[in-house]
Amino acid sequence: MTMYDTTAPAAPVVPTRGRLRPLGLGEVTITDGFWARRQRVNGEATLEHIESRLESEGWLGNFDLAASGKLPAGRRGREFADSEIYKYLEAVAWEIGRRDADASSPLEQRFRAIVARVAAAQEPDGYLNTNFGRPGQRERWSDLEWGHELYCLGHLFQAAVARVRTRPDADDGLIEIARRAAELVCREFGIGGREGICGHAEVEVGLAELGRALGERRFVEQAALFVERHGRGSLRDIEWGRKYYQDDTPVRDADALRGHAVRANYLSAGASDVAVETDDDALLSSLRRQWDRTVERRTYITGGQGSHHQDEAFGDDWELPADRAYSETCAGIGSIMFSWRLLLATGEAAYADLIERTLFNVVATSPAPDGKAFYYANTLHQRVPGIPADPSATSSRASSSLRAPWFEVSCCPPNVARTFASLDAYVATADDDGVQLHQYATGRVRTVLPDGRVVAFDVQTDYPADGRVRITIAQDAEFTLTMRIPTWADGARLVVGGAGEDAAPGTASVRRAFRAGDVIELALPVAPRVTAPDPRVDAVRGCVVVERGPEVLALESVDLGADVGDAVLAGEPVERDGSVVLPVRNRSTDSVSEVPLVAYHDWAQRGPSTMRVWVPTS
Amino acid sequence: MTMYDTTAPAAPVVPTRGRLRPLGLGEVTITDGFWARRQRVNGEATLEHIESRLESEGWLGNFDLAASGKLPAGRRGREFADSEIYKYLEAVAWEIGRRDADASSPLEQRFRAIVARVAAAQEPDGYLNTNFGRPGQRERWSDLEWGHELYCLGHLFQAAVARVRTRPDADDGLIEIARRAAELVCREFGIGGREGICGHAEVEVGLAELGRALGERRFVEQAALFVERHGRGSLRDIEWGRKYYQDDTPVRDADALRGHAVRANYLSAGASDVAVETDDDALLSSLRRQWDRTVERRTYITGGQGSHHQDEAFGDDWELPADRAYSETCAGIGSIMFSWRLLLATGEAAYADLIERTLFNVVATSPAPDGKAFYYANTLHQRVPGIPADPSATSSRASSSLRAPWFEVSCCPPNVARTFASLDAYVATADDDGVQLHQYATGRVRTVLPDGRVVAFDVQTDYPADGRVRITIAQDAEFTLTMRIPTWADGARLVVGGAGEDAAPGTASVRRAFRAGDVIELALPVAPRVTAPDPRVDAVRGCVVVERGPEVLALESVDLGADVGDAVLAGEPVERDGSVVLPVRNRSTDSVSEVPLVAYHDWAQRGPSTMRVWVPTS
C-alpha cells in the first residue's frame, strides 16, 4: 500500500504556489440550502442513475469485454465512452470523501467494483482504452484528432486525484492504474517520443494534478509539453479549422478562448496549472488576458460559453445569439475549472464572480429536480415548446427535448455529478493570515493556518433567496476573514460587532481577535435589477434581462399565458410575495399584466414552454 | 434517333396546366445589363473553371474508373460527387441553347465528351452511380439516408431535360441514359418495390420534369409516389430528427418548410410539379401556405433561407440571426425553383417578388466578378474579416474565407452556373391573351400565343441601377402586357402612349392593339429606403436595413474606415453621385460621417472586410 501526502486538502486543485490555498472537503462543509439540496439529490439519485445508464448502455461492459479479450466485437458507445466511467468514479470518490463514507459503505463497494473492472482492462504496459490497439481495432495513438485516448486518460487521472485526496490509503488500485497510465503517456509522448497532442484537451489538467497529488514532477512536465505543443498544427486541418482543437495558435500567443468551448476551457485550466507549477508568469498573464476578453465578449449573461451548435464552439467576439446559445453544461464546468485556478493563483474576486454566475445559471440549470435528467445545451431563448424526452432512449445533445435522462454523448451528467460532489472545495480558501469566503452557503469552515491558528466559523444563509449571510465564529482566534462582494452587489453592508459599514464590490476583509460567538453579518442586496446588454452584442439589442442576486431570471410562457415572442417590457420588476413579477405587454393583445419570472435554472420544470431571458423593451 | 416535342419551350419547367406558360430560351433573350454580364462571365469563365475542377478533383475520373472496372479503388470525392457532373452538364446544355451553339462548337464537343464518359459508367440495367453496387462498395440502395443515389439521378434527369428542351434531336445519348435510369428507378421504387425515399430530395423534381419532357407519365407518377412517401418515417431518425430530410410530416400536412433548407426546397419544388400534374389542389394549397409562412417567418431580408450551420437547416419561426445566417447559395436556388413553380401555377406576383429578391441578393452574391470563386454560405453580418481562400485547395463550406474557388462539398458553383445559363427562362411567361414580364432586363421577347398572335417586344433598362424600364413593341398585335410591380415599388408609374398612371404593387396590365414602335415606360422608384424588421425577429431588433430597388445594401468596414461593430445609424440614406451614402456614427469615436453603402451582392470584393446588412439605430 502506497501512502501519499495526507496533509493536502481534499480538493480537486492543490497548487504548490499561488495567492490562495484551497480548503478541501472536511475543511468546508455545506450543510443546508440551495447547494446542499442539489448535493443531496446528486448523492441520492444522480450517481445511481448514471451508474445504471453506464451499465445499460454497455459502456462499463466495454471494460469487461476488453479484459476477456472479446473486443472489438460488441464494443458500445462513442470513442470517448471510457471517460464517462472515469468521471463517474471521480464523482463517487468525492462523494465518499464528502460523506466520509466508510470502507463498508455501499458507495465504497460500488466504487471498488467498478475500479476492479477498469483494472482488468489495463494492458501490462499501462495502456488503457477500450477502443484502440487490439486486433481489429485501430492502432494506439493513430487518431489523435478524434480518438480521445489521452482525453480519456486525463479523466482517469482526475478520478485518481479525487481518490488520493480523499482516501490516500485505499487499496482499490485506482491510483496505481492512473500512475501506470501516466507513466506510459510520459514514455510515449515525452521528449524524444511522439510529438503529438490530443484533439480534445484534458490530459494536461489531469496529468498536472496527478503529478501534484503523487509528487511526480515528470507528470507536470509532460502536461507542460502538451500545453506547449498546442498551436503548432500537429493535428490535421478540418472544416472548422485547427482552432476547433486550439491547435491554431500557441496557448501563450492567443488572445481569447476559441474553438470548441469545452476543449478551450480544459486546455486553459491545464495551462494555468502548468504556468503555476513552472513559475511561468508570462503564460499566466496571457491566460488572464484571454480570460478577460472571453468573459467580456464571448460569454453569455448566464456564464454560458459557446454560441455555435455546429462545432460546439465559441463564436467571434460579441456573437452571442440567445436562441442559438449552445452554452454546453460541460463548457460551463470547464470555465469554472479555469476560473478557479486563476482565483487560486491571483486571489482576484472577478474569477469567483464568474464561478458563481456559472454555477447558478449553467450548472444548476442542467439537472432536473429529481437529478435524473439533464440539459446538455442551455439555450437562453426557447421559441418552440420542448418535447418530453423518451426516458428509455439516448437523446440528442441539443435536441428539442426537455431535460433528458441520457445522451449518445453523455459527458454532461457525470460532469455535473463530480462538480456537485466536490462543490464544498470551491467555497473558501486560506492564506497565511486568514480565510476567504468566495461562495455563500450554509455550512461550516474549520481549518488550520500555517502558523497553527485554528480558523473555525459557521455560515448561516438562505442565499440566494435572501442576501443576508450570518457568520458565527466558533473558536477564539485572531485572523482575517475576507468575503467576496459580488460585482452586482452595489450597496452591500457589513455588520461586525454591531458596527455597520458599506462594502464595495470586490472583497471586504475583517481582521481582529475574534471570540467564539462573534457574529459578522453581510447583507448583499438581491433586489431584482434590470441589466442592459453591451451594445456590441447584436443579438439582444433592444432587450434587457432581469437578474436577482446571482440568478438570471427568465420569462416562461406558462406564466405569461402566451408565447414569449409576444412579450414586451412594460415596467420595472418588483418583488411580491417571494417572487419577482415583471409588467409585460402582450404585443398581440396589447394588454399589460404582471408576470412572475422564474430563476433561469428552474425553467422548463413545469412541462413544455417557450422561454426568454432577454426581454424586448419596445 | 428519338424525336421529342420540339414545340415545348426551352425552359426548365413546362407544366401541362397552370395559370402561366413559361417562355423559354429563344423566346426571351437577355442581351445586356446586370444579368447579361453575369451570364457572360458564367459562359466564358465559370463553366471552364468548374470543368477543370471536376477533372482535377477526380470526380469526372470516377466515371472512367467505373467504366474500366477499377472502382472502388481510387474513387474520389464525397458520396454525391456524381451530381456535380450532372449539374455541370445541365449548365452546359442550357448554355448551348442560350447561345444556340452548333454541333461543332467547343462547348458542344466538351458536353459530348463528358456524356460519353458518363454513358460508359452506366450499368446494363440502367443503374448509374460511382459509389455503390460494385464489389467492395456498399449495395445499391443500402443507404437511402446518406447515399444520395436517387439525388444524383435527379440531377441527371434535370440535365437530360435541359438537353431535350434545347437539342431534342441530339445523338449524344444523355437523354437515353436518363430514360434508362428513370425506368430503373420506377422498377425499383414503384408500387410493389422498395418503399423508400432518398435522404436528399431531388429525384422528385427531376423525375417529374423528365416525365413531362419525354411524355412519360409513369415518371411523374413515380415522383408523386416519392413525394407521398415523405413524412412516413421510413428514414432512420438522426440527431437533428427526421425533419432534417422532411421525413417527419407528410408534405401535405406540413405548415412550413423545415429541416435542411436545400432538401426542403427541392422537395417542395417536386411536390409542386406533382400537385400540378395530378390536379391535386389540396397539395398545391398546402404548398402555398407553407411558402407563405416560410417567407414571412423563416427567410432573410436577402431571400436567403437556412439559419443553422450545424444541419444547414431552417430554424424556428423568427430565428434569423444575421451573423449566423447560413443562407446557402443552393437553398436560394432551391427557393427560386419552388417559387417559380408556384408562379406558373397561380400567376401571383409575390412568387416573382421573392425570386427577384433571391436572385439579386443570394445567387448574385455567390460568384466573384471573375466567375471563379463562390460563397457557399451567405452571412448577413461578418464580424471578423475573411481570409483569402487558398486557390489550390478545396475550402470549407462556411469557412472564414472569402469567396473560394472550390469546396469539398461543391454543390453551389454548378448550381449557380445552371441557374445563370437558364436565366432567360425565368423572365417572362405567357397566357392565352398575352405576356407577363416578371423580371426586368434588357433583351428581347418573341413568342406566339396559342391563337397564333405574335407577341414581340424589346426591353431596354439599366435596372436595377435605374428603375426605368422601356418596352418597345416590335410587331403589330393586340395582346395584354402584364408587368410585375414589386412590393417595394410604392409610387411606380406607367406611361403608355404618353398617358401616365400610377401602378400599385402587384401587377399592372396594358391591353390594346399595339403597333410596332409603341412604347410602354415603367418607372419603378429605386430610391434608397429604410426597412425595419418584423418585431418578432429577435436577432435584428433595434436595427434597420437600407434597400434600393431589389437590392439589399450593406455597410463594409473598408468604406466605414472602422469595424462595422462600431456603426450606428445617424440619419437617412441619400443617393449621391450614383451611390447610396448613409450617415453613420462611430460608437467608439462618436464622430458622424457619410459612408457609401455597397450592394450586398458586391461585398468582400475589395479584400477582407467586416460587413453588416442590419445597422443599429441607437
Give the tens place of pLDDT for each residue, A341-360: 999 999 999 999 999 999 99
Question: What number of C-beta contacts closer than 8 Å exist between A and B?
Answer: 95
Residue among B324, B392, B568, B611 with most chain A CBs within 10 A, to mutate: B324
Q: Across the interface, which of B239, B396, B535 has its CB nearest the CB of A239? A: B396
Query: Which chain A positions have a beta carbon within 8 Å of B239's beta carbon?
Result: 396-397, 399, 408
Cβ of A241 within 8 Å of Cβ of B321? The answer is no
Q: Across the interface, which of B308, B309, B542 has its CB nearest the CB of A542? A: B542
Cβ of A397 within 8 Å of Cβ of B309? The answer is no
Cβ of A239 within 8 Å of Cβ of B315? The answer is no
φ, ψ of residue A567 to 5 degrees: the values are -85, 135
Which residue from A212, A200, A207 is spatially nearest to A247, judged by alpha carbons? A200
Task: Write a three-state SS string for B59-113.
Answer: CCHHHHHHHCCCCCCCCCCCCCHHHHHHHHHHHHHHHHHHHCCCCCCHHHHHHHH
Which residue from B4, B414, B338 is spatially nearest to B178, judged by alpha carbons? B4
Q: Across the interface, which of B324, B383, B397 has its CB nearest the CB of A324? A: B324
Query: Which chain A positions have a beta carbon within 8 Å of B587's beta carbon?
Result: 535
A540 to chain B nearest CA, in Å? Answer: 7
Query: Which chain A positions have a beta carbon within 8 Å of B400's beta carbon?
Result: 241
Neighbours of B7 (CB within 10 A): 7
Query: Which chain A positions have a beta carbon within 8 Å of B317's beta carbon?
Result: 383-384
φ, ψ of residue B225 to 5 degrees: the values are -60, -45
Q: Across the interface, which of A316, A396, A541 has its CB nearest the CB of B616? A: A541
Cβ of B539 within 8 Å of Cβ of A240? The answer is no
Residue among B538, B566, B586, B611 with most chain A CBs within 10 A, to mutate: B538
Cβ of B541 within 8 Å of Cβ of A536? The answer is no
Q: Across the interface, which of A323, A614, A616 has its CB nearest the CB of B319? A: A323
Kindly indicate the confidence band of residue A441, based on its pLDDT and cuts at 50, 70 and 90: very high
- pLDDT computed for residue B578 by the predictor: 87
B316 to chain A nearest CA, in Å? Answer: 7
Q: How far apart are CA A588 and CA B396, in angstroms?
A: 43
Q: Which helix (H) or strand (E) holds A151?
A: helix A149-166
Name the percent of chain B in helix, strand, coil, to the closest 5: 35, 20, 45
Q: Is the model's pLDDT at A3 over the cut of 90?
A: no
For B531-559, what is each residue's pLDDT tens digit? 999 999 999 999 999 999 999 999 999 99
Cβ of B587 within 8 Å of Cβ of A535? The answer is yes
Cβ of A542 within 8 Å of Cβ of B541? The answer is yes
Distance, C-alpha B430 to centroid of its chain: 21
pLDDT > 90: what percent of chain B?
94
Starting at the earlier edge strand, list the strands of the sheet with B21-22.
Answer: B21-22, B428-431, B434-437, B477-485, B506-514
Cβ of B315 within 8 Å of Cβ of A308? The answer is no
B70 to chain A nearest CA, in Å? Answer: 27
Collect contacts of B222-225 with beta carbons under 8 A, ≥24 apart. B222/B182, B222/B185, B222/B186, B222/B189, B222/B190, B223/B270, B223/B273, B223/B274, B224/B274, B224/B277, B224/B278, B225/B189, B225/B190, B225/B191
Which residue from B432, B388, B413, B439 is spatially nearest to B550, judged by alpha carbons? B439
Q: How far apart are CA A291 and CA A255, in angstroms?
A: 9
Residue among A237, A240, A324 with most chain B CBs within 10 A, to mutate: A324
Q: Is the model's pLDDT at A2 over the cut of 60?
A: no
What is the value of ipTM here, to two decimals? 0.87
Average of per-residue pLDDT across A137-151: 98
Helix (H, G, I), strand (E, B) or coil at B401: strand
DSSP structure class, residue B313: B
Cβ of B535 within 8 Å of Cβ of A587? The answer is yes
Backbone φ/ψ region at B395: left (φ over 0), alpha (ψ -120 to 50), beta: beta
Q: Across the interface, which of B307, B310, B323 has its CB nearest the CB of A319? A: B323
Average of per-residue pLDDT across A164-173: 94
- pLDDT computed for residue A4 by the predictor: 65
Q: How far apart are CA A26 and CA A448, in angstroms?
A: 12
Q: Is the model's pLDDT at A216 over the cut of 60?
A: yes
Preceding peptide of B533 cis, ω within 30°: no
pTM: predicted TM-score of the whole model, two decimal places: 0.93
Given a cut of 50, the residues of chain B with pLDDT beneath it are 1
Of all residues in chain A, the one with the smallest CA distance to B539 is A539
- pLDDT computed for residue A399 by the predictor: 65
Kindly indicate the confidence band of residue A1, based on its pLDDT and cuts at 50, 70 and 90: very low
